[in-house]
């Protein structure tokens, strides 16, 4: 009888995995939402924990045999609470989108108004886009950046909130390079009677080490992914620093007013997910442990320094960065002054083994499949050990490629140079 332990190795799949590893190791990775996890994070994610079903929460499972996974999940919870100074956390969301959806389910009724950062200005699909459940099940309204500055005007946010009266005010972005004024946003939310949700999926690692403003001190609820600047496995989580009685009067079957943490737990399971991925939660626990270290602080400082060095190098070569610079790990570049589109830039750079993503810029005149911009970030290459001077060299390569986008010979030459350069920054020795 053939068992899982005696099955012939699936060479087709593993050969493709080997090709992907080679691609990651030989090129420059600048997608702002990507990073490289440690070997021990990958080891945990590929462990026997993938076999275990564990619906529910630690100590409150619907399956037997959860004694060990209870300890692992609780360790992940304890570590993330320590890292962010939170009083409550749920580490089960499969992604940032799942975390946000659980919050919506817990806090809103279909048709309720939400106020989020416009996707076309750097926001996220789950903050009210009409193609996402957040825009289909709720009434989405938006704020954006000023055309002249590329920066959010909080007076306009306040005016919009007063006009639209949202139940949920959302801050956070996928392509905004500036820090957020959570104090002002909380004042706006309080003024209109809204809950304030901060989605910190991109800058979470920088926030955790005190390099950006702290949303947990002022926002009712905070969500994040775990795989960007936190440098963990792909996944999401929800946190609060201070639990509170929900403002909607929702009660338990016993008649007690339910705390928001209880509603959020229910929003995850059974509201939007079934059994949690305990192998991924174990990998989260490992990554959170790494993020608690002094070494991770040094890493986060370097991520930010590298981003600022990269932004300056782009500006020095005549590229327009939305808002003029960056406070975090990423930047959004308007390519129209160079006569290029985001689609052309993405497709051309990949020929030289430089990976970026095309991205709409505020007030874009091109479609989402073409775009006028590109988004780049420094988290992944900082993980590989690069410093400020390396960021300047990367920009030299990018400019060289884009200015020779129709010269296949030059693109091939740059690719060879990059492949050789990357040998000095081994990923998985």
The residues annotated with a catalytic role in the active site are 53, 55, 199, 225, 228, 234
Question: Terminal CA-to-CA distance of the chain, rounded, Å?
Answer: 38
Q: Checking DSSP bridges between strand 139-143 and strand 168-171, what pairing results, if any?
A: unpaired
User: 196 labelled as ligand-binding?
Assistant: no
Residues 361 and 319: beta-carbon distance below 8 Å: no
Q: Other CB atoms closer than 10 Å to residue 243's CB: what's the count?
A: 15
Residues 333 and 314: beta-carbon distance below 8 Å: yes
Q: Checking DSSP bridges between strand 139-143 and strand 113-117, what pairing results, if any?
A: parallel
User: 96 labelled as ligand-binding?
Assistant: no
Q: Checking DSSP bridges between strand 168-171 and strand 113-117, what pairing results, if any?
A: parallel
C-alpha 97/C-alpha 241 separation (Å) is 21
DSSP per residue over 355-416, as a string?
E-EEE--TT-SS-TTT-SEEEEESHHHHHTT--HHHHHHHHHHHHHHHTTTT-HHHHHHHHH
Residue 89 CB contacts under 8 Å (≥ 6 apart), including other chains: 77, 80, 81, 237, 238, 239, 240
User: 64 labelled as ligand-binding?
Assistant: no
User: 123 labelled as ligand-binding?
Assistant: yes
Give me 308's structure tokens. 């600022």
C-alpha 140/C-alpha 164 separation (Å) is 10
Residues 153 and 146: beta-carbon distance below 8 Å: yes
Phi/psi of residue 36, nearest 5 degrees: -115, 120
- Which residue(s) pair with 259 in the sheet? 245
Residues 392 and 305: beta-carbon distance below 8 Å: no
Residue 320 CB contacts under 8 Å (≥ 6 apart), including other chains: 333, 334, 336, 337
Bind-site residues for (6S)-5,6,7,8-tetrahydrofolate: 119, 123-125
Bind-site residues: 119, 123-125
């Amino acid at each position: 009888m053939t068992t899982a332990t005696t099955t012939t190795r699936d060479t087709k799949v593993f050969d493709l995995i080997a090709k992907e590893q080679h691609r990651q190791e030989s090129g420059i990775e600048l997608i702002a939402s990507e990073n490289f996890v440690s070997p021990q994070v990958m080891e945990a994610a590929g462990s026997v924990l993938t076999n275990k079903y564990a619906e529910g929460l630690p100590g409150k499972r619907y399956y037997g045999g959860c004694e060990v996974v209870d300890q692992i999940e609780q360790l992940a919870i304890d570590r993330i609470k320590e890292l962010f100074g939170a009083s409550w956390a749920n580490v089960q969301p499969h992604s940032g989108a799942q975390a946000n959806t659980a919050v919506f389910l817990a806090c809103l009724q279909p048709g309720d108004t939400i106020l989020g950062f416009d996707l076309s200005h750097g926001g996220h699909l789950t903050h009210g886009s009409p193609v996402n459940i957040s825009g289909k099940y709720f009434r989405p309204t938006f704020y954006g950046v000023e055309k002249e500055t590329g920066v959010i005007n909080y007076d306009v946010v306040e005016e919009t909130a007063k006009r639209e009266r949202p139940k949920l005010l959302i801050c956070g972005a996928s392509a905004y390079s500036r820090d957020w004024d959570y104090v002002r946003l909380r004042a706006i939310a309080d003024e209109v009677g809204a809950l304030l949700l901060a989605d910190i999926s991109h800058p979470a690692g920088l926030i955790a080490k005190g390099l950006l403003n702290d949303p947990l001190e002022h926002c009712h609820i905070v969500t994040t992914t775990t795989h960007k600047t936190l440098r963990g496995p792909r996944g999401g989580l929800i946190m609060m620093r201070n639990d509170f009685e929900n403002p909607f009067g929702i009660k338990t079957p016993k008649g007690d007013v339910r705390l928001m943490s209880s509603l959020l737990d229910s929003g995850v399971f059974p509201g939007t997910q079934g059994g949690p991925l305990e192998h991924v939660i174990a990998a989260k626990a490992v990554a959170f442990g790494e993020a608690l270290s002094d070494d991770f602080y040094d890493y986060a400082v370097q991520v930010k320094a590298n981003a600022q060095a990269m932004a300056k190098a782009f500006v020095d070569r005549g590229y327009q960065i939305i808002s003029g610079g960056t406070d975090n790990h990423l930047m959004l570049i308007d390519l129209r002054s160079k006569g290029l589109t985001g689609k052309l830039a993405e497709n051309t750079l990949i020929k030289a083994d430089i990976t970026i993503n095309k991205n709409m810029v505020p007030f874009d005149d091109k479609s989402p499949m073409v775009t006028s911009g590109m988004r780049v970030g420094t988290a992944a290459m900082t993980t590989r050990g690069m410093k400020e001077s390396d960021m300047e060299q990367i920009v030299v390569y990018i400019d060289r490629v884009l200015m020779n986008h129709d010269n296949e010979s030059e693109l091939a030459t740059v690719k060879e140079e990059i492949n050789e350069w990357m040998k000095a920054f081994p990923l998985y020795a």
